[in-house]
Amino acid sequence: MELLITLSLVYALVFPVALVASLLVIWLSLRRVAKVLAQVEAALATAANETAPLERYLHRLHAGTRSAHEVGG
């Protein structure tokens, strides 16, 4: 019976520590992922801003391609 009590006490002490350690690792990993996603968002915003002037040219090109396809097809 004493063995069961001892094991229960050890488990009661080790489990919360292991749980806190696991949750801390998960939290740190999620923060790292969030940081990387913020960098990706900034890079995509920069790319969108830098390529915005091309929109009118691409629109004309797509319109011309559609017209040529309708005439030829």
Question: What does the domain layout of the chain look like in residue ranges?
Answer: 2-72
**Would you call 61 helix, strand, or coil by DSSP?**
helix
What integer pLDDT is reported at residue 29 of this predicted model?
Answer: 98
In the predicted model, what is the mean pLDDT of residues 45-50? 94
Confidence (pLDDT) at 68: 66
Which helix (H) or strand (E) segment holds residue 71: the answer is helix 55-72
Q: pTM value?
A: 0.61
**Residue range 3-45, pLDDT digits in tens:** 999 999 999 999 999 999 999 999 999 999 999 999 999 999 9
Specify the pLDDT at position 72: 61
